[in-house]
Chain A
Amino acid sequence: ETGVTQTPRHLVMGMTNKKSLKCEQHLGHNAMYWYKQSAKKPLELMFVYNFKEQTENNSVPSRFSPECPNSSHLFLHLHTLQPEDSALYLCASSHPTPETYGTEAFFGQGTRLTVV
């Protein structure tokens, strides 16, 4: 248990479905991240939120829509996905400050998404 909880752990959805992934951190961190992990590729950064504000969108297609209602919760809303979007989606959190910009990141267990 890392203090970062993701639900659901597994999700199968059709290309016309709408679903959401949820991430919750209990560490008091101020930054949260979505990453995508596909086979044979390094983890790809998708979105960054610092103090609930989105500070980075790494050229992610609009069929992925993030939401960060507060510093403890992060969502990834999915709609009209493609089979190539099947992957492990990982959430992470950290607590960068002006004094300690490079702080330790903690990851959730991920959501294994399959698009059929």
Chain B
Amino acid sequence: KQEVTQIPAALSVPEGENLVLNCSFTDSAIYNLQWFRQDPGKGLTSLLLIQSSQREQTSGRLNASLDKSSGRSTLYIAASQPGDSATYLCAVGGGQAGTALIFGKGTTLSVSS
């Protein structure tokens, strides 16, 4: 059974810091990995999608990497801002999940000004 773990569960940083969020998964037979952002009480906003054949994806200040063989992904946020405060969710698709996604519990980020 695919399990997704995100570390740390919570993170507080001052504005301007670069930070790394970690995601690990137990079954490497995935088709893709997707990072989402969720604001309190809201839905999920897709940040980055990495296909299983790719090593990384970048969007603005965000960079996500994927090491499929070791079952790991990282989300790097450069020059953090208070507006980055949210919960970040990692999800993997494929294998036992089929076309659906299996999620971690998320990392709640707080960036202070």
Q: Which residues of A contact B (CB under 8 A)?
A: 2, 4, 6, 31, 33, 40-43, 45, 48, 50, 55-56, 88, 90, 92, 94, 96, 101-110, 112
B43 an interface residue at 8 Å Cβ cutoff? yes
Confirm or deny: B45 has a beta carbon within 8 angstroms of a beta carbon on chain A.
yes
CB-CB under 8 A from B51, the residues of chain A are 102
Q: Which residues of B contact A (CB under 8 A)?
A: 4, 30-32, 34, 36, 41-46, 49, 51-52, 89, 91, 93-94, 97-106
Contact (Cβ within 8 A) A110 B42: yes
Quote the shortest CB–CB distance from A103 to chain B (angstroms): 8
B46 pairs with A106, CB closer than 8 A: yes
Of the A-B pairs whose beta carbons lie under 8 Å apart in the complex, a sample of 17, sorted by A's number, is A6-B43, A33-B101, A42-B103, A43-B89, A48-B99, A48-B100, A55-B99, A94-B99, A96-B99, A101-B99, A102-B32, A102-B94, A103-B32, A105-B101, A107-B43, A107-B44, A108-B43
Q: What total of A-B pairs shows CB separation below 8 Å?
A: 71
- Is there contact, CB below 8 Å, between B45 and A2? yes
Q: Is the CB of B52 within 8 A of A102?
A: yes
| Top 10 A-B residue pairs of the complex, sorted by shortest distance between their CB atoms | A102-B32, A102-B31, A107-B44, A109-B43, A43-B103, A96-B99, A42-B103, A104-B49, A107-B43, A101-B31
Specify the chain A residue showing the minimal Cβ separation from B41: A112
* B65, chain A: closest CB distance, angstroms: 16
Nearest chain A CB to B51 CB, angstrom units: 6
Choice from B4, B43, B100 contacting A2 with Cβ under 8 Å: B43
B42 near A45 with CB under 8 A, answer no
